[in-house]
Amino acid sequence: MSRRSARGNRLGLVVVGGLLLASGLAALAAGRGLLGPEVARDTLAGAWTGGVLEQRWMPYAAVAVALLAGFLALRWLLLQGMNDTVGRVVLDGGGDGRVEMSEGVARGALEREVSDYPGVRRARARLTESGNAPHLRLALTLEEDADVTAVWERVSAEALADLRQALGLGRVPAVVRMSMAAPVRAPRRELA
């Protein structure tokens, strides 16, 4: 879901940027006389609108367009702050009841398990998408001398298998991002 919204954000920014760039270049060309001397002498709005801006309804239409643009911009900003982390994971939904577990419990257990692996400095996990079929996003910060292959194999064979078993699922799609930690610098000694 976040990949779709990121793609939509990029597309929206490209479209808005392209429109602003095209209108700016058109205004610059008109002002420099590249579109003809009569366009350069006339006011920009008067030359291209044919008197539409002088209509009585135009200020109301401009206010309506500005309110719509403001509403859409506010909605876009609010959506940027939302995350797709699920609150609860459904363990058993059949029969008369439903058994749920907090996402934080599953996430915390996974983070503690992976943080104890040799070479892992920090682990941050999120369960996303839906409570019935969660996806995992796991971000690992490794020590500079960590064996990346060994960490990946252990995460794949142990941690993800334990998570699937704990959630009672046959499959948990996962994205694992590993990055190396900056080396710890020794303090400087000052010579007197």
Q: Note the pLDDT tens digit of each residue in 43-90.
A: 655 555 666 667 788 778 888 988 998 888 888 777 776 666 677 777
Q: Which CATH class is domain 88-180?
A: alpha beta
Angle (nearest 5°) at CA 166 between 111 and 177: 35
* pLDDT tens string 98-126: 777 777 788 888 889 898 899 888 888 88
What are the boundaries of each domain within the chain?
1-50, 53-82, 88-180
Which tokens hold the place of 132? 């019935």
Cα(114)–Cα(180) distance, integer angstroms = 15
Number of Cβ atoms within 10 Å of the Cβ of 128: 17
Spell out the residues 6+ positions from residue 150 whose beta carbon is closer than 8 angstroms to its own: 118, 119
Its pTM surpasses 0.95? no
CA dihedral 60→66→69→75, nearest 10 degrees, is -100
Number of Cβ atoms within 10 Å of the Cβ of 142: 21
